[in-house]
């Protein structure tokens, strides 16, 4: 696996961990998204605060691939979109033949926003205008593609209506910049570096979803919610843009040691300011967001932490 260059440990909190937990791998996504810095930031927090643990963040194909890594024990923690996590846990939709029942959650970290970007000079003004165009739908094995397919199909648009390209975030931005594609989708915590970089070199337009398009998508996917991208988020973005939001979940294998899961959850919520310093998306890393948004049961170690802090834990998060 390709390992992120996040540094080695500085011990600050004496926590005895099982020997098998000394090396922790965090599955993230591509370098142009938010999983990579969030995962790397959390790895550094682990290194700095949990004695004897060394964590590294790994570049992956994101949500769908990450479910397999957790199932096989090839990663200890992973970030993934809530709809992907739910489908994997229940064996539905894209996971009908490969249910992954050993997934447990530690937290919901922040919401993604589906962002459809084109050049300002483009004639694309709505998702209906994608017909006949070259469009990046996200990297293979990514939650972005699952989100895109669900949104488009809920609104009567199929891949046969345009030419789909499966690029990661940086590749999508480069292809739009160079005129190799007409538009591209991101499902990522805003603002994201690859769109910021694109907007700094070319005039771009973000495409809004109508109220009806949002409602159609929500009928298909329960974890979808309305989300507004604020005006000024990217250079040249003068008006707010309506889209879909999806929670991102930090998941582990059910076999993770309970004490380790407890310490990781405690670390995340009691040192959130360190993660916010890495990326502003972590402003949404709250106990309430986890209780409201997490789609699969919590690991017993995480449950122990939330019980200690007096959280009201929904029944769906307990086994």
Reduce the secondary structure of 264-289 to three states and give it as a string: HHHHHHHCHHHHHHHCHHHHHCCHHH
* Residue 312 and residue 220 in one domain: no
pLDDT at 223 (0 to 100): 87
pLDDT at 19 (0 to 100): 40
Q: What does the DSSP assignment read for 176-190?
A: HHHTS-SEEEEEESS
Give the span between the Cα atoms of 117 and 242, in whole angstroms.
13
* Residue 106 and residue 116 in one domain: no
Q: What range defines the domain where residue 83 resides?
A: 2-110+249-317
- Of 215, 246, 277, which residue sits at a domain end? 246
- Of 192, 219, 246, which residue sits at a domain end? 246
SS3 58: strand
pLDDT at 13 (0 to 100): 39
Rounded (10°) CA dihedral 33, 38, 40, 44 = 160
* Residue 242 and residue 259 in one domain: no
Give the span between the Cα atoms of 167 and 173, in whole angstroms.
9
Cα three-residue angle 111-112-117, rounded to 5 degrees: 150
* Residue 152 and residue 240 in one domain: yes
* Residue 106 and residue 118 in one domain: no
* Residue 192 and residue 307 in one domain: no
- Side-chain-side CA neighbours of 299 within 13 Å: the count stands at 30
Whole-model pTM? 0.77
CATH number for position 173: 3.40.190.10
Under a CB-based contact definition with an 8 Å cutoff, are residues 249 and 82 in contact?
Answer: yes
- Of 212, 229, 246, which residue sits at a domain end? 246
* Residue 291 and residue 305 in one domain: yes
Give the span between the Cα atoms of 108 and 248, in whole angstroms.
6
Give the span between the Cα atoms of 281 and 33, in whole angstroms.
11
Q: Which helix (H) or strand (E) covers residue 259, if one does?
A: helix 258-270
* Residue 231 and residue 305 in one domain: no
- What's the distance, CA 224 to chain centroid? 13
- Beta pairing, strands 134-136 & 183-188: parallel
Cα 179 to Cα 78, 170, 202, distances in angstroms:
34, 14, 11
Under a CB-based contact definition with an 8 Å cutoff, are residues 175 and 181 in contact?
Answer: yes
- Beta pairing, strands 103-119 & 241-253: antiparallel
* Residue 103 and residue 120 in one domain: no
* Residue 208 and residue 274 in one domain: no
SS3 226: strand
- List, for the chain, all residue ranges whose pLDDT scores fall below the cut of 50: 1-21
SS3 156: coil
And the tokens for 163? 């030419």
* Residue 237 and residue 132 in one domain: yes
In 3D, which of 103, 4, 18, 14 has the Cα closest to residue 55? Answer: 4
* Residue 148 and residue 242 in one domain: yes
The number of distinct structural domains making up the chain is: 2
pLDDT at 164 (0 to 100): 98
Rounded (10°) CA dihedral 32, 34, 36, 39 = 180
């Amino acid at each position: 696996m390709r390992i992120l260059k996040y540094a080695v440990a500085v011990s600050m909190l004496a926590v005895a961990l099982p020997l098998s937990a000394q090396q922790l791998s965090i599955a993230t996504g591509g370098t142009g998204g938010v999983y990579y810095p969030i995962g790397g930031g959390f790895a550094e927090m682990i290194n700095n605060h949990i004695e004897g643990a060394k964590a590294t963040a790994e570049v992956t194909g994101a949500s769908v691939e990450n479910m397999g890594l957790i199932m096989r024990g090839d990663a200890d923690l992973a970030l993934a979109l809530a709809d992907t996590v739910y489908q994997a846990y229940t064996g539905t939709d894209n996971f009908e033949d490969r249910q992954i029942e050993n997934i447990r959650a530690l937290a919901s970290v922040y919401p993604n926003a589906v962002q459809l970007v084109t050049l300002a000079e483009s004639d694309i003004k709505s998702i209906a205008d994608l017909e006949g165009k070259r469009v990046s739908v996200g990297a293979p094995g990514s939650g972005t593609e699952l989100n895109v397919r669900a949104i488009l199909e809920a609104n009567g648009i199929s891949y046969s209506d345009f030419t789909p390209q499966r690029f990661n975030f940086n590749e999508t931005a480069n292809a739009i910049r160079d005129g190799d594609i007409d538009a591209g989708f991101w499902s990522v915590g805003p603002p994201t570096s690859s769109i910021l970089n694109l907007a700094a070199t070319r005039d771009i337009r973000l495409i809004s979803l109508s109220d009806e398009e949002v409602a159609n998508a929500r009928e298909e996917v329960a974890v979808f919610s309305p989300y507004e991208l604020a005006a000024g988020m990217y250079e040249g973005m003068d008006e707010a843009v309506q889209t879909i939001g999806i929670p991102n979940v930090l998941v582990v294998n059910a076999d993770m040691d309970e004490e380790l899961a407890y310490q990781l959850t405690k670390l995340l919520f009691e040192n959130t300011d360190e993660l916010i310093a890495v990326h502003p998306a972590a402003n949404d890393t709250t106990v309430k967001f986890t209780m409201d948004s997490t789609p699969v049961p919590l690991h017993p170690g995480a449950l122990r932490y939330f019980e200690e802090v007096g959280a009201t834990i929904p029944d769906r998060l307990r086994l």
